């Protein structure tokens, strides 16, 4: 009996503990395995911060800000409320927390961020994001724009370059939203698009129209934008967002918060010019362009990237020639008194070379710069074809027609001659830039189309002289000039003239004539029995 009891106890102990060990330890292993997957950080709130969080939570004040902070890398690294909202007596934004005797800073500024992120703040303050926007002719613009609109308009976006009483410049949370300060959100194209949007510089629209933006949308769900591109590491995503080209690093480029480091053109300004912004610090435009090209070449062949950017460079140079024409007319019409400048107490509030709001040529000139002129240029730089074309050059040309028609109506004989002229070349009252071919390939027959190619046998010689001149003026690099010259010398190839694809072209011509026949029958020649309701 004793033996049986002993055996039973043994069996029971072995059985129960086997089951217990298996179940509990597998659950433990499972939980721990899950931890390796979540890697969810533990947030510790300690010291004074505990009081802030408790009180804010109890009173329901900015509770979500605390939730956002808990998602931040700051929270994981135990960087809490008072680390950023720290203040000294006399600070411009210092106030006493009404529930305690803590002195709190209302506006953590870049100076506070620089306590830890010194390099980033320095880079930012050397960028055009930190540019003081109100410097340029804004007294003129403020005539047209009422203050409350400026508050929620200009000032909201340009707050990114805020000059604080503590002498720091910028607003880090313009891109890294409070209080997550997320890298991923800062990289999301829509963050840039909060400001870089709309008729004056539709960058987000241009981006989303481009192949870059299109593929981004297709792959967006798979992308994790919360990465660091430090120390010459490869770009970890396969499609560029805005920051990839303008800020992030790759194998050859360091990451930068200076968005101006890679820009070779001031193409937002009234005249396109090669950048001189802090060139003693960050190099001349060629250096800046080489940085951008180094990023392009992470994905593109050098030939494609260089050819693409060179073509877009000519769009900028062309823009200047168009603007020269607009300014010539507004100046002329102002000088001869047809346009009257806004004036009060001996001070002018419109400028024939920049601003003006109540005369058609002024409006056309302003828009040909500030709206369609930028769309024309930026569409070209960032692969937004529609913005270079229909929202760009077509709107510019429309403005030119309106301006000259207005001048003719006011009796300007030169303008009258232009209006009455039937010469097709009248729409190019400015010098031209061009490049044989395009970055994408050889199009065999399309280059037989442009009017100037056919009407001017010396067209390419004229262009050659213009391009040579801008090269001599250091607006193109040596390498770019060589690339252009190579294309020029072999233009029969790049323009596709020396290739014959007539039989294939004929096939499409036949299809096209079928379309013409179809719409002629279905629409043009269709006669309805009812008469119009309004009789002409």
Partner 1 sequence: MSGKFKSWFLQRFPIDTQKTSTVMEKIFIKEPIPKHMKYWYYALGATPLILFLIMVFTGILLTFYYIPSPAKAYESVVYITEEVSMGFWIRGIHRWGSNLMVIAMFLHMGRVFFTRGYRKPREINWVLGVLMLLVTLTLCFTGYSMIYNQLSYWATTVGTNMIKEIPLIGAPILYLLRGGEDVTANTLTRFFNLHIGFLPTILFILIIVHIIFVRMHGVAKLEDKEDEETYSFYPEHFYHTLIIGLFLLAVLSALTVIMPPGLGEQANPNVTPPHIKPEWYFFAVFSVLKFVPLKLGIYFFTALIIVLTFWPFFDDFIRRKWQVRRIHYWVGSLTIILFLFLTVFEIIVQ
- Note whether 29 binds partner 1 by CB under 8 A: yes
- Note whether 509 binds partner 1 by CB under 8 A: no
Tell me how far, at minimum, the Cβ of 52 lies from partner 1, in Å: 19
Q: Which of 1, 8, 31, 290 binds partner 1 (CB under 8 A)?
A: 31
**How many other CB atoms are there within 10 angstroms of residue 164's CB atom?**
15
Identity of the residue, 76 or 138, whose beta carbon is nearer to partner 1 in the bound complex: 76
Burial status of residue 208 (CB atoms within 10 A of its CB: 0-12, 13-18, 19 or more): middle
Tell me how far, at minimum, the Cβ of 302 lies from partner 1, in Å: 27
d(CA 350, CA 357): 8
Q: Which of 1, 8, 32, 148 binds partner 1 (CB under 8 A)?
A: 32
Tell me how far, at minimum, the Cβ of 41 lies from partner 1, in Å: 8
Instruction: List CB contacts of 29: < 8 A, sequence separation 6 or more.
Output: none
Identity of the residue, 19 or 504, whose beta carbon is nearer to partner 1 in the bound complex: 19
Q: Say if residues 86 and 115 touch (Cβ distance below 8 Å).
A: no
Tell me how far, at minimum, the Cβ of 39 lies from partner 1, in Å: 5
Instruction: List CB contacts of 279: < 8 A, sequence separation 6 or more.
Output: 285, 287
Tell me how far, at minimum, the Cβ of 118 lies from partner 1, in Å: 17
Select the span of 16-24, 206-214, 284-292, 487-495 touching partner 1 (CB under 8 A): 16-24
Q: Say if residues 198 and 213 touch (Cβ distance below 8 Å).
A: no
Q: Say if residues 193 and 204 touch (Cβ distance below 8 Å).
A: yes
Residues in the chain: 536
Tell me how far, at minimum, the Cβ of 12 lies from partner 1, in Å: 9
Q: Say if residues 248 and 255 touch (Cβ distance below 8 Å).
A: yes
Q: Which ranges constitute the DSSP H helices of 39-180? A: 48-59, 63-70, 73-76, 81-84, 110-113, 118-125, 138-144, 147-152, 154-158
- Note whether 525 binds partner 1 by CB under 8 A: no
Structure-block tokens of residue 221: 């769900």
> Terminal CA-to-CA distance of the chain, rounded, Å?
123
Identity of the residue, 25 or 61, whose beta carbon is nearer to partner 1 in the bound complex: 25
Q: Which of 10, 100, 132, 156 binds partner 1 (CB under 8 A)?
A: 10
Q: Say if residues 114 and 125 touch (Cβ distance below 8 Å).
A: no
Q: Which of 30, 96, 390, 451 binds partner 1 (CB under 8 A)?
A: 30
Select the span of 4-12, 273-281, 300-308, 353-361 touching partner 1 (CB under 8 A): 4-12
163 phi and psi angles, rounded to 5 deg: -100, 110
- Note whether 438 binds partner 1 by CB under 8 A: no
d(CA 240, CA 39): 27
d(CA 100, CA 85): 15
Identity of the residue, 78 or 219, whose beta carbon is nearer to partner 1 in the bound complex: 78
Tell me how far, at minimum, the Cβ of 230 lies from partner 1, in Å: 11
Q: Which of 8, 34, 151, 517 binds partner 1 (CB under 8 A)?
A: 34
Tell me how far, at minimum, the Cβ of 191 lies from partner 1, in Å: 24
Q: Which of 8, 18, 149, 340 binds partner 1 (CB under 8 A)?
A: 18
- Note whether 119 binds partner 1 by CB under 8 A: no
Identity of the residue, 23 or 455, whose beta carbon is nearer to partner 1 in the bound complex: 23
In the shown chain, the binding pattern of residues 44 to 83 toward partner 1, with x for contact by CB under 8 A and - for none, equals: x-------------------------------xxx-----
Q: Which of 8, 19, 461, 490 binds partner 1 (CB under 8 A)?
A: 19
Q: Which residues pair with 274 in a beta bridge?
A: 265
Tell me how far, at minimum, the Cβ of 43 lies from partner 1, in Å: 9
Identity of the residue, 62 or 184, whose beta carbon is nearer to partner 1 in the bound complex: 184
Tell me the Ramachandran region of residue 14: left when phi exceeds 0, alpha when psi lies from -120 to 50, beta otherwise.
alpha
d(CA 167, CA 111): 8
Identity of the residue, 33 or 535, whose beta carbon is nearer to partner 1 in the bound complex: 33
d(CA 264, CA 440): 22
Tell me the Ramachandran region of residue 91: left when phi exceeds 0, alpha when psi lies from -120 to 50, beta otherwise.
beta
* Residue carrying structure tokens 């890298």: 183
- Note whether 1 binds partner 1 by CB under 8 A: no
Instruction: List CB contacts of 332: < 8 A, sequence separation 6 or more.
Output: 412
Tell me how far, at minimum, the Cβ of 222 lies from partner 1, in Å: 12
- Note whether 394 binds partner 1 by CB under 8 A: no
Identity of the residue, 38 or 280, whose beta carbon is nearer to partner 1 in the bound complex: 38
Tell me how far, at minimum, the Cβ of 11 lies from partner 1, in Å: 7
Tell me how far, at minimum, the Cβ of 223 lies from partner 1, in Å: 15
- Note whether 423 binds partner 1 by CB under 8 A: no
Tell me how far, at minimum, the Cβ of 44 lies from partner 1, in Å: 6
Structure-block tokens of residue 520: 């002629």
- Quick one: which of 274, 304, 278, 271 has its CA closest to 289? 274
Identity of the residue, 126 or 225, whose beta carbon is nearer to partner 1 in the bound complex: 225
Instruction: List CB contacts of 235: < 8 A, sequence separation 6 or more.
Output: 229, 244, 248, 249, 250, 295, 298
Residues 80-99 that bind partner 1 (CB under 8 A): none
**How many other CB atoms are there within 10 angstroms of residue 84's CB atom?**
19
Identity of the residue, 3 or 420, whose beta carbon is nearer to partner 1 in the bound complex: 3
Select the span of 30-38, 192-200, 357-365, 502-510 touching partner 1 (CB under 8 A): 30-38
Instruction: Give the binding site for partner 1 (CB under 8 A).
Output: 3, 6-7, 9-11, 13-15, 17-22, 24-26, 28-39, 41-42, 44, 76-78
């Amino acid at each position: 009996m004793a033996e049986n009891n002993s055996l039973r106890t043994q069996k029971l102990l072995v059985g129960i503990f086997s089951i217990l060990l298996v179940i509990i330890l597998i659950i433990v292993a499972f939980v721990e395995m899950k931890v390796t997957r979540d890697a969810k950080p533990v947030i510790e709130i300690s010291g004074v911060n505990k009081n802030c969080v408790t009180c804010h939570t109890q009173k329901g004040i900015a509770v979500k800000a605390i939730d956002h902070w808990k998602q931040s890398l700051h929270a994981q690294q135990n960087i809490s409320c008072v680390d950023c909202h720290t203040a000294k007596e006399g600070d411009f934004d210092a106030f006493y927390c009404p529930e305690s005797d803590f002195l709190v800073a209302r506006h953590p500024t870049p100076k506070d961020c620089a306590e830890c992120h010194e390099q980033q703040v320095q880079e930012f303050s050397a960028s055009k994001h930190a540019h003081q926007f109100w410097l340029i002719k804004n007294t003129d613009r403020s005539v047209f724009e009422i203050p409350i609109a400026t508050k929620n308009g200009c000032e909201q976006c340009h707050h990114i370059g805020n000059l604080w009483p503590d002498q720091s410049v910028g607003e880090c949370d313009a891109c890294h939203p409070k209080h997550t300060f997320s890298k991923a959100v800062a990289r999301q194209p829509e963050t840039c698009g909060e400001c870089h949007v709309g008729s004056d510089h539709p960058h987000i629209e241009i981006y989303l129209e481009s192949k870059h933006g299109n593929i981004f949308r297709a792959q967006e769900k798979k992308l994790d934008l919360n990465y660091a591109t430090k120390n010459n590491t490869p770009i970890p995503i396969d499609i560029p967002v805005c920051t990839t080209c303008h800020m992030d690093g790759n194998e050859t480029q360091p990451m930068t918060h200076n968005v101006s480091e890679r820009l070779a053109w001031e193409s937002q300004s009234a005249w396109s010019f090669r950048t001189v912004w802090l060139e003693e610090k960050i190099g001349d435009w060629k250096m800046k362009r080489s940085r951008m090209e180094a990023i392009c070449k992470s994905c593109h062949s050098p030939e494609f990237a260089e050819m693409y950017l060179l073509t877009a460079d000519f769009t900028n140079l062309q823009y200047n020639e168009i603007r020269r024409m607009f300014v010539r007319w507004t100046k002329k019409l102002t000088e001869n008194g047809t346009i009257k400048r806004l004036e009060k107490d001996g001070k002018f509030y419109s400028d024939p070379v920049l601003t003006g709001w109540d005369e058609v040529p002024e409006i056309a000139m302003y828009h040909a710069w500030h709206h369609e002129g930028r769309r024309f240029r930026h569409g070209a730089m960032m692969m937004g074809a529609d913005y270079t074309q229909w929202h760009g050059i077509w709107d510019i040309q429309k403005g030119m027609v309106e301006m000259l028609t207005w001048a003719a109506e006011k009796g300007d004989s030169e303008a009258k001659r232009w209006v009455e002229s039937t010469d097709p070349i009248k729409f190019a009252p400015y010098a031209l830039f061009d490049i044989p071919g395009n970055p994408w390939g050889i199009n065999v027959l399309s280059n037989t189309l442009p009017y100037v190619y056919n009407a001017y046998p010396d067209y390419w010689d004229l262009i050659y002289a213009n391009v040579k001149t801008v090269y001599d003026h250091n607006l193109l690099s040596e390498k770019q000039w060589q690339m252009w010259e190579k294309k020029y010398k072999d233009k029969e190839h790049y323009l596709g003239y020396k290739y014959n694809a007539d039989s294939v072209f004929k096939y499409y011509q036949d299809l096209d004539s079928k379309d013409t026949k179809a719409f002629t029958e279905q629409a043009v020649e269709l006669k309805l029995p009812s008469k119009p309701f309004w009789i002409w």
